[in-house]
Structure 1
Amino acid sequence: MSETASRMKQAVAVIGAGWAGCTAAVELARAGHQVTLYESSRTLGGRARAVEMQGKILDNGQHILLGAYAESLRLFKMLGIDTDQALLRLPLQMRYPAGCDGMDFIAPRLPAPLHLLVALLRAKGLSGSDKMALARFSSAARWMDWQLNTDCSVSELLHRFDQTERLIKLMWQPLCIAALNTPPERASAQIFLNVLRDSLGARRVASDMLIPRVDLTTLFPQQAANFVVQHGGTIKTGATVQKIANDNRKWSVMLDKTEDAEYDAVIVATSATQAAILLADVTMNAAIPAFEYEAITTCYLQYPADTHLALPFHALTDDADSGCWGQFVFDRGQLDHTQSGLLAVVVSTSTSAIDIGHEALSAAIAAQLAHALQMPALAHPEWSRIISEKRATFSCTPGLQRPQEKTEFPHLAIAGDYLASDYPATLESAVRSGVKAASLLRQHFTAEK
C-alpha cells in the first residue's frame, strides 16, 4: 500500500453496536476506513435487538418504523436489505377493536394531503366536533410550519387548539406516547410537531407504518456487521470498553484495564450513561447530562397456532386505574408464519406497570385483550413473558438540552439517539446520529490529507 493510501485509510474504533454505532461503522467502512466495532453484549442492536424466548427469536421490544425514516431506509437499501420482505408496510392507521369504544381511522393510498382528508371523512367512532378539531389542528400546524416560538407540553398544545377529550384519548395521546415515550403532560410539543411534520405533513408514503417481519438484530445490525467485515473491519462482541485515552496522536482502547489496540479516531456510541463515563477522563466539552428515563415493556403471549387477529395490529385504550396497561397489540403470526398464535402487547411509559410485577401484569394484559378483542380465550395464554427496558428512552420534555456529536477533538465523536435532533429517541434518530458522527470523522480525515 502506498504512503498516500495508508494515510487515507484510518483505523477507527466504534464503541457500541446499537443502531447508532452500527450506522457509523457502515458509513466509515464504506468510505474505506479500517473499522473495529466493540459491543459489550453478545448480541448486536443495543436497545433494539433480538432475544431468545421459549425457543423463539423475538425482540426486546416491538417496534414500528415510519416511511419518514429516510436515513434508515437509505441504509437498508445500500446494504441490500429487501424492505418488501423485511418490513410489512401499512398505511397510517389508528384502529381499535370493538371492545374498546375506539375509532377506526385509516389513510387510503392517495396523494398527500388528500389521503388524510379522506381518512378523516371516513373515520368511524369520531363525532363531527372531533373531526373538526382534528382538521383545525392539522391546518394550524401547517400554517405555523410546524414550529413553536416557545416549546411547551403536548397537553398544553392540544388544549391551545381546542382538541376534544375523545380525540386526545384515541389519537393524540397514543401517538405521543408511541413516538416520544413520554406522557403528553410532560412531552415536548415541538418534538411531537417535528414527528408529525415529517409523517402527517409530508408525502403520503412518509406516513406509512413499517412493522419488522424479522427480528431487529437481523433487520439491520447484523447486516451492518457483515458489511463492515466484508470491507476489512472487525466485530468484537462480549467486549466491554473500560476506558479510552489519547496521547494527542493516537487513541488507546482498554478492555478490562488492558490496552486492546490503538486507533486514529474513536466514536463513542454507547448509552448516555456509559458515554459519560468513557468521556469524563478525556474531554470536558462533551458533558452529557443525567437524563431522566422512561421504560418500555413488551408482553408476549402465546396462544394456539390458529389464533389470529383481524388486523396485524390494533390500538388499545389503556387505563391504569382499570388495570388496562396495553396500548398496542401485534399479531406476530401475520408478520412471521413461524410465530402463529403469538401476540405482542406494547406498554410505553411503563414504570407503573412494571411495579405491579410480571405475573400480575401478564394476567392484566391477557384480561384486557380478551375484553377488547371480544375473544374470551385470550384471557388464558399458553405462556406469557414480560420484557422491560427500564431505560428505553430519555424523557423527551420541553426545551430539553441535548449534546452534539462533535467534541473538542476532531478525531473523537459521539453517536446515540439521545443527542441533539429534531426527533425523540427513535431508531431513526440513532441512525441519523451515526451518520453525522461518521461524517465528522471523514471531514477530519480529509482535512488532514
Structure 2
Amino acid sequence: MSVASPGDAARLPGRTGPGAPQRVAVVGGGWAGCAAAVELAARGAAVTVYEASRTLGGRARAVNVHGKSLDNGQHILLGAYRETLRLMRQVGIAERPALLRLPLQMVYPEGDGMHFVAPRLPAPLHVGLALLRSRGLARPDKLALARFSTAARWMGWQLNQDCSVSELLARFDQTDRLVQLMWRPLCIAALNTPPERASAQVFLNVLRDSLGARRAASDMLLPRVDLSALFPQRAAAYVESRGGKVVHGVAVDTLERDGECWRLRDAVHDAVVIATPPAQAAALLAAHAPDLSMPAFEWESITTVYLQYAAGLRLERPFFALVDQPDAGCWGQFVFDRGQLNDADAGLLAVVISASGPALDLGNDSLPPLVAAQLAQALRMPALATPEWTRVISEKRATFACTPALQRPSNDVGIDGLALAGDYTAGDYPATLESAVRSGMAAATLVARR
C-alpha cells in the first residue's frame, strides 16, 4: 500500500471541471475517519485522509511489543456490529480468518462464578435455555434475570427518563449475585463506565440490539488479527485504489473557508469530515461554528495487561470472565488466550481492566504481579504467577464516560460542507467500534449530499 508524504498535500486530486469527483478531506484516521473515507470513496469522491500519527486506527490500533503486533486494548465485537462487519466485507476482509465467532457467554473459572453459554438456537430461546442450564446462579438469580429481560422487552427497551444502570437494576430487584457476575461486568465492558454512573438507556440500547435481537446479533467476535489490520489498513488501501490519498504524520491545525470550498494544508476541498477527538474538533470549528455545543466530556481509561508464558500454555477456553475485587488486589475483569486466536501469540494472555482509573494509580510496575497472581489463583494454575515478560498498555482517554442523559453533538454542525465523525457523536451506542463506524458513515452521507 502506498502512503502519501506531507509534501504531497498540495498536489492531491481535485476538481478540474463539471462532473469531476467531489474533493473531500477526512481529518483523522481512526475508525470513524476510515469509515467515512470508505463510504465517500464508494460514492465516487476523491478522498484525502489526514492522520497526525504514523498508524491508522486511533484508539483501536496495533502497537509493537517484544516483536509482536498487539492491540492497544483487547476488544470484543458483537454480531450486532452490523455496519462494522459490512464495511469490513466491503474492503475485502473475510470474517472467518479475521474473527473468531463464539456464542454469547459469561463463563468464570470453575468455582469462582457462573457458567452461562447460549446455545445456537433462535432468539429468545437461546437466552432462555442458557439461563436454565447455567451454573453458579441460584433460583432467585435466574428468576430476577428472566424478570428483567421480560420487562425490558415489554417496555420496548425504552425509558421515559434516563437514570443510572444501578438504579435500573434496583428498580427490577436484581439480586446482588446477578449484578456482580452478570450486569456489572456487562455494563463496564459495553459502556466502560461503572453502573453507578452509566446511562441505563444506552445500556438498554446495547441489550436490545444484542440479547433482544436475532441470535447471531448476540454472538461474540474476537479479533484474530491486530486491530489495525482488522479494518483501518484495508480501508486505506480501498481509498487509494479509488484514487484517494492517505497522508500520515500531518496534523491539521487550521481550517479556512475558500469561497464555497475549504482550505487545509495548502489544499482545497469541496467538503471536510472532521474525525478527531472532540477537543481538536472544537478548535477546528471555533471560527466557523461559534455556537457549536461540545459537552465537557469526562473520560474513562482502559488498561490491558499482556503476560507472556511458554508457548505450550493454553487455557480451557478462548476467554474467561474474572471476579474483580480491587480491595483484594484482583483487578482483571476478563482474560483472553491470544494463542487460541493467532498461533503467533501462543502462550500470550491479555487481561482487560475497563474503567481502569484506580488501577492506573498502582503504576505499570505494580499491576502485572497482581494480575498474574489473580490468574494463578482463579484458574488454579500456579505457573501463571511467573510470566516470562509483561507489558501494560493503557489508553487514559479510551472512551467518554457514558453518563445518563448525556447530550452528544450531532454529525451535522449546521455548516455546508462540514460534518463531525467520532464515537462521541449522537447515537444509540456508547463509545464502541460500531458507534465510530456508524458516525463516520453518517458524516460521509451528510457531505456527499452537497
TM-score norm. by structure 2 comes to 0.96
- Letter in structure 2 aligned against 1:84: R
The aligned amino acid for 2:413 is T
- 1:447 aligns with none
C-alpha displacement at 1:286, in angstroms? 2.7
| Residues 34-77 of structure 1 deviation map (CA, whole Å, 9 limit, x = unaligned) | 10001011000000000000000000000000000111111111
Give 1:196 deviation, angstroms.
Answer: 0.0
Q: Which residue of 1 aligns with 2:68?
A: 56
SS of residue paired to 2:222: strand
After TM superposition, give the deviation of residue 79 of structure 1 in Å.
Answer: 1.4
Count of residue pairs the alignment pairs up: 436
Q: Match for 1:370: what amino acid? A: A
Task: Tell me, yes or no, if structure 1 residue 400 matches structure 2 residue 406.
Answer: yes
Do 1:11 and 1:34's aligned partners in 2 also have CA atoms closer than 8 Å? yes
Map Cα deviations across residues 360-416 of structure 1 (whole Å, 9 max, x no partner).
111110000000000011011000000000000000000000000001212000000
User: Any conservation in 2 of the 1:332–1:341 contact (CA below 8 Å)?
Assistant: yes
Q: Name the structure 1 match of 2:340.
A: 334
Query: In structure 2, the residue corresponding to 1:358 is in which secondary structure?
Result: coil
Q: SS where residue 365 of structure 2 aligns?
A: helix
Aligned residue for 2:136, secondary structure, equals coil
Contact 1:331 1:344 survives alignment (8 Å) = yes
Which segments of 5 or more consecutive residues in structure 2 lack a partner in the other structure?
A: 1-14
1:374 corresponding residue in structure 2: 380
Aligned-pair CA distance for 1:23: 0.4
For 2:38, the equivalent position in structure 1 comes to: 26
Deviations 1:181-221 (A, max 9, x none): 00000000000000000000000000000010000000100
Amino acid at match of 1:311: R
Aligned to 1:302: 308
Name 2:329's counterpart in structure 1.
323
Tell me what 1:432 maps to: 438
Deviation at residue 234 of structure 1 after TM alignment: 0.3
CA-CA distance at 1:3 after TM superposition: 4.2
User: How much does 1:275 deviate?
Assistant: 1.0
Q: How far off its partner does 1:252 sit?
A: 1.1
What's the % identity of the aligned pairs?
65
Return the match for 1:66 from 44, 60, 78.
78
Structure 2 residue 126 is the aligned partner of structure 1 residue 112? no
Q: Which amino acid aligns with 1:280?
A: A
Shift of 1:273: 1.7
Does residue 35 of structure 1 match 2:41? no
Written as runs of structure 1 = structure 2, the 5 A alignment for 1:18-417 is 18-98=30-110, 101-254=112-265, 260-417=266-423
SS at match of 1:173: helix
d(CA) in 2 for partners of 1:433, 1:284: 22
| In structure 2, distance between residues paired with 1:317 and 1:287 | 40
Matching residue's letter, 1:4: P
C-alpha separation between the residues in 1 aligned to 2:72 and 2:287? Answer: 32
Instruction: Note if contact 1:98-1:374 (Cα within 8 Å) is conserved in structure 2.
Output: no
Alignment partners' CA distance in 2, 1:235 and 1:132? 54
Q: What residue number does 1:257 align with?
A: none
Aligned to 1:5: 19
SS of the aligned residue for 1:439 comes to helix
Residue identity opposite 2:90 in structure 1: M
| Separation of aligned partners in 1, 2:448 and 2:16 | 20
Q: Moved runs in structure 1, 4+ residues, more than 2 A?
A: 1-4
Report the TM-score when normalising by structure 1: 0.96
Q: What letter matches 2:109 in structure 1?
A: P
